[in-house]
Each structure stands twice: as structure tokens, then as C-alpha cells.
Amino acid sequence: MIMTTIHSNLQTVRQRIATACSAVGRDPAGVRLLAVSKTFPAEAIREAHAAGQTAFGENYVQEGIAKIEALRDLRDRLEWHCIGPLQSNKTRAVAEHFDWVHGVDRLKIAQRLSEQRPGGLPPLQVCLQVNVDAGANKSGVPPEEALPLARAVAALPRLRLCGLMAIPEPAPDFETQRGLFLRAAAVLDRLRSAGLAVDTLSLGMSADLEAAVAAGSTMVRVGTAIFGGRPGAGNADSR
């Protein structure tokens, strides 16, 4: 059997997750791999799916929908996550096409998603983005405002609040990075103590997934380590 690059990259990433889990005594089954396919063609996603990958993340709504359409034949077997910052003029497209949204940080956006989620589809699964390092101009709800927002989002009929996502700035060392991720984990604990049924921590990317797993991540979002480098990566991603 010939193994493609994407196939062997996926194996390498799964192995990294397994190693990171065993370093902290976690069951690797508790960490899902989200393959971030932004900027890569539908055929690359097809290839990853042939290698056993089912969950895919896209940042740009129109680009993501074009791939969802191109891969219609696999729709029942793929799970599509919208992971980019979300503007209100894009909520309808997201509500109609995606299974998950990770970048929600305002009630108004959540309300629109709930109103616009088609009745024939299951509730849209949502992670609130929390801003754990108070970076200027960054998306995400401040940690101290996460609980009231989570309560309001959990009450919306067509959404299911699953947990939190965060994108801390890259830190120079493992312990600092883990410390930033732990702030998100602490917010999740607070939501749970308040009685919310949340279990998802969407934390970690290609460069820092080990620190995220050590901090309790249940879903790592990995692009480069699976699909390769993106043209202009670094600033093209921030939109």
C-alpha cells in the first residue's frame, strides 16, 4: 500500500497526540484531532478522509462551503468545523452548512446562529472563544465574562454549547504555553461548577499541541503538520 504524505503526516500527528497523552497519563481517546484544511483543496480533504480523518476545520466561510459542496458525497461521514472569527453577515451561511462553530464570543452572533439554524438539522455545536492572554485586538470573551455569556448561549434553542476554544499567543517555552492553556481549562471548570454541561476544550495547533494536551485539551486543531505549509501563513490566517 502506498502511503501519501497526508496519510503519513496524519499518523505522525496521531502519534504526537498519543505521546503527549501518555506523558501526562491521559487516554488518547479523550483528544480529538481536527484537521484544519484552510487554503487546501477538497482533494486534500478527500485524501485525509481516506486515511481515516473525519473532522475538518475551515476558517473562511465561503471557502469552507465551497469544499463542503465539492465533497457532498461524503457529507454524512465528515464533520465540518468553522474555526475562524465570525462576522454577523456570515452567520446564516455557517448555520446552514457547518456542524460546529469555535469562534463565538458575542451573544448577538450566537442568537443569529440559533435563529438561522435550519430546523431539519441537529443543533449547531458551539465553543465560545475565550481570550486567555488579554492580547490587544484579539477575539474572545474575557475569562471573567465567560460564565454569563455561556449561560445565555446554553439557553438558545438551536445551539448546543459544548465548551471553549482559545488561541493564546505563541510562548517561548512549554511551561509558559501550558500555563496559558490552563487558563482556558480553569474557565471550563468554572462553567462546569456553575452547572453547565460542557466538556470540550478546543486548544492546541501544530506547534503547541503537546502543551495543550498537557493542559487538558480535548480537541487539537492541526493544519500545517497534516497538510503542509500555507502560502503567506502567519498573517494571512488572522483575517
List interacting residues with ligand PLP (CB under 6 A). Answer: 36, 38, 59, 83, 167, 205-207, 221-225, 237
Short-list 163, 178, 165, CA closest to 208: 178
Q: How near is the Cβ of 94 to ligand PLP at its closest, in Å?
A: 14
Give the three cell numbers for residue 231.
Answer: 502560502
If the CB atoms of residues 140 and 143 are measured against ligand PLP, the closer one turns out to be 140
Whole-angstrom distance, CA of residue 153 vs CA of residue 109: 10
Eight-state DSSP code of residue 121:
S
If the CB atoms of residues 171 and 205 are measured against ligand PLP, the closer one turns out to be 205
Q: How near is the Cβ of 11 to ligand PLP at its closest, in Å?
A: 16
Q: How near is the Cβ of 233 to ligand PLP at its closest, in Å?
A: 7
Contact 143, 101 (CB under 8 A): no
If the CB atoms of residues 103 and 143 are measured against ligand PLP, the closer one turns out to be 103
If the CB atoms of residues 109 and 158 are measured against ligand PLP, the closer one turns out to be 109
Whole-angstrom distance, CA of residue 107 vs CA of residue 126: 12
Q: How near is the Cβ of 193 to ligand PLP at its closest, in Å?
A: 27
- The three-state secondary structure class of 138 is coil
Q: How near is the Cβ of 69 to ligand PLP at its closest, in Å?
A: 21
CB nearest ligand PLP: which residue?
223
If the CB atoms of residues 128 and 158 are measured against ligand PLP, the closer one turns out to be 128
CB < 8 Å & 24+ apart, contacts of 58-65: 58/82, 58/83, 58/84, 59/83, 59/84, 59/237, 59/239, 60/84, 60/239, 61/86, 61/90, 61/93, 61/94, 62/93, 63/38, 63/39, 64/38, 64/97, 64/98, 65/93, 65/97
If the CB atoms of residues 158 and 218 are measured against ligand PLP, the closer one turns out to be 218
Sorted by sequence, the CB contacts under 8 Å of residue 207 that are 6+ apart come out as 170, 224
Q: How near is the Cβ of 211 to ligand PLP at its closest, in Å?
A: 13
